[in-house]
């Protein structure tokens, strides 16, 4: 199977859930569709949703909650 | 006519070189954070250096040009295409009526500047077209541009000789500099000597709280203050002072933990001590720092700061000469 990539358009800090007490937006192994929110990027004192640009299954995150991210960095892969 | 905004990007604002002269009333200078990139973009399309263009941060807008014009994009490295065809930054590009400009991911730096021949012709507010977001005035109704906006252009008859103007690589600003020069003062006496030297020896990392008002840094150790009895009018925290004014580039360190460099939209006064100020020649570099970039502060004296300023003025003069003669 070909892997498809979900990239962050923004630099900043990556979060996998909407607030510290919430569930993750998505977990490894799940399916995603285009425009599903997969995480947040915190930059310039605000939070921005990172949406999937691909449809696929067997999601696998490549960055952890709280990691620094760069624009164009691959956040997750799907099959 | 004008330029139709199809997609705004993260926070794209109309900026010129700013509105100095009102800081004593609490109104900051605003204007392009990377002044040199804005000036060069304007020169490349034949505009006055102070014409209004777009400041694009982290993600680019998608724009449709509803009249023919010249554009130039400078500053950060963010590849872009006109009707699907890749174009180069730091040069003037002819745009036909109806063409669409879109950007790819940011590769290096943080802010791009887009100049359009004729300039963006929004009304002047206190002598400038710059957007001051916190004050909600200037630019496009005091806010970032939004999908559906039409950016009005000034008179747009450019000469064919202006097309393709560019700069040799050696004249382009190096946005990869990671040493930021600082002049100590006005309140550095509040710190122990050991703490000051430690501040200049450590790596500081750009925090996510970095915008047009200020750039916050983290990663270094907390500063150590000289013991004192707080003077009348100052708060009880050792980083408090009796309220005073802040210069552009001032470094305040609330509670002595995370330094904040005050930039174009910063407050004009407050009650935190400032340990120094980033020299004016290096403020453009701050504009190009992405979050999580690590830098080092370097202490220099007034003589060196003035030399750096003179060098910067000379570089800009050379660029002007090159573009007008090419």
Q: How far is CA B167 from CA B38, B52, B301, in A?
A: 14, 21, 32
Joined together, the tokens standing for residue B308 give 């750096």
Joined together, the tokens standing for residue B237 give 């925290």
Q: Give the nearest partner residue to A71 out of B11, B58, B211, using CB atoms.
A: B58
Structure confidence at residue B137 (pLDDT): 98
**A66 to chain B, minimum CA–CA distance in Å?**
12
Q: How far is CA B92 from CA B43, B114, B158, in A?
A: 9, 10, 11
The CA distance from B130 to B212, in Å, is 12
Chain A CB within 8 Å of residue B209 CB: yes
DSSP conformational letter for B94? E
- The segments of chain B whose pLDDT lies below 70 read none
Q: Which CATH architecture has domain A4-78?
A: Beta Barrel (2.40)
Closest-CA residue in chain A for B213? A44
Q: Give the nearest partner residue to B58 out of A7, A10, A45, using CB atoms.
A: A10
Q: Cβ A11–B57 below 8 Å, yes or no?
A: no
What percent of chain A lies above the pLDDT cut of 90? Answer: 91
CATH topology of domain B179-313: Cyclophilin (2.40.100)
Domain boundaries, chain A: 4-78
Residue A50: burial class (beta carbons within 10 Å; 0-12, 13-18, 19+): buried
DSSP conformational letter for B169? G
Joined together, the tokens standing for residue B303 give 């003589």
Q: Cβ A13–B110 below 8 Å, yes or no?
A: no
Chain A CB within 8 Å of residue B57 CB: yes
Query: pTM for this one?
Result: 0.94
Joined together, the tokens standing for residue A19 give 């607030």
pLDDT digits (tens, 9 = 90+) for B138-183: 999 999 999 999 999 998 777 788 899 999 999 999 999 999 999 9
The CA distance from B269 to B44, in Å, is 37
Chain A CB within 8 Å of residue B208 CB: yes
Give CATH 2.40.100.10 domain extents, chain B.
Answer: 179-313
Which residue(s) pair with A48 in the sheet? A41
3-state secondary structure (DSSP) of residue B39:
helix
On the question of pLDDT at A13 being above 80, the answer is: yes
Contacts across the A-B interface (CB distance below 8 Å): 49
Structure confidence at residue A1 (pLDDT): 62
The CA distance from A30 to B27, in Å, is 50
Residue B286: burial class (beta carbons within 10 Å; 0-12, 13-18, 19+): buried
Q: Is the dihedral of CA B32, B35, B41, B44 positive or negative?
A: positive
Which residue(s) pair with B218 in the sheet? B205
The CA distance from B287 to B278, in Å, is 12
Which chain B residues contact residue A71 at CB under 8 A?
58-59, 105-107, 290
Structure confidence at residue B155 (pLDDT): 84
Q: How far is CA A51 from CA A74, B29, B127, B151, B299, in A?
A: 12, 36, 40, 28, 43
Which residue intervals of chain A are DSSP H helices? none
DSSP conformational letter for A1? -
On the question of pLDDT at A45 being above 90, the answer is: no
Which of A39, A76, A71 lies closest to A56, judged by CA? A76
pLDDT digits (tens, 9 = 90+) for B295-305: 999 999 999 99
Structure confidence at residue B184 (pLDDT): 97
DSSP conformational letter for B230? P
Structure confidence at residue B198 (pLDDT): 97
DSSP conformational letter for B226? P
Closest-CA residue in chain B for A13? B208
């Amino acid at each position: 199977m070909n892997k498809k990539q979900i990239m962050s358009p923004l630099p900043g800090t990556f979060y996998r859930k909407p607030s510290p007490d919430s569930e993750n937006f998505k977990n490894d192994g799940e399916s995603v569709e285009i425009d599903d929110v997969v995480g947040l990027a915190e930059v310039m004192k605000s939070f921005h949703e990172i949406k999937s640009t691909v449809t696929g299954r067997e999601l696998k995150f490549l960055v952890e909650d709280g990691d620094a991210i760069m624009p164009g960095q691959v956040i997750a892969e799907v099959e | 006519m004008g330029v139709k905004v199809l997609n705004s990007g993260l926070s794209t604002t109309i900026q010129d070189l700013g509105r100095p002269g009102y800081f004593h009333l609490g109104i900051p200078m605003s204007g392009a954070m990377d002044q040199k990139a804005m000036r060069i973009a304007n020169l490349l399309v034949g505009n006055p250096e102070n014409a209004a263009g777009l400041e694009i941060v982290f993600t680019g807008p998608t724009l449709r040009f509803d009249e023919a014009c010249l554009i130039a994009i400078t500053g950060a490295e963010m590849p872009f295409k006109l009707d699907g065809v890749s174009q180069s930054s730091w040069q003037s590009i002819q745009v036909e009526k109806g063409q669409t400009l879109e950007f790819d991911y940011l590769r290096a730096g943080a802010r791009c500047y887009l100049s359009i021949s004729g300039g963006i012709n929004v009304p002047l507010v206190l002598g400038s077209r710059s957007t001051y977001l916190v004050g909600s005035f200037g630019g496009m109704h005091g806010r970032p541009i939004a999908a559906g906006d039409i950016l009005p252009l000034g008179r747009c008859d450019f000469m064919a000789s202006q097309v393709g103007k560019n700069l040799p690589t050696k004249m382009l600003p190096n946005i990869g500099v990671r040493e930021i020069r600082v002049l100590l003062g006005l309140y550095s006496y509040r710190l122990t000597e050991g703490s000051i030297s430690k501040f200049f020896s450590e790596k500081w990392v750009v925090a996510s709280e970095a915008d047009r008002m200020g750039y916050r840094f983290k990663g270094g150790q907390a500063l150590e203050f000289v013991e004192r009895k707080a003077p009348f009018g100052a708060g009880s925290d050792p980083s408090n002072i009796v309220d005073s004014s802040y210069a552009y580039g001032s470094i305040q360190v609330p509670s002595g933990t995370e330094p904040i460099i005050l930039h174009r939209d910063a407050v004009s006064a407050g009650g935190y001590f400032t340990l120094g100020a980033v020299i004016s020649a290096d403020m453009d570099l701050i504009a190009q720092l992405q979050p999580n970039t690590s830098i080092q502060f370097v202490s220099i004296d007034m003589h060196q700061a003035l030399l750096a300023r003179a060098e910067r003025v000379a570089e800009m003069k050379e660029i002007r000469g090159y573009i007008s003669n090419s």
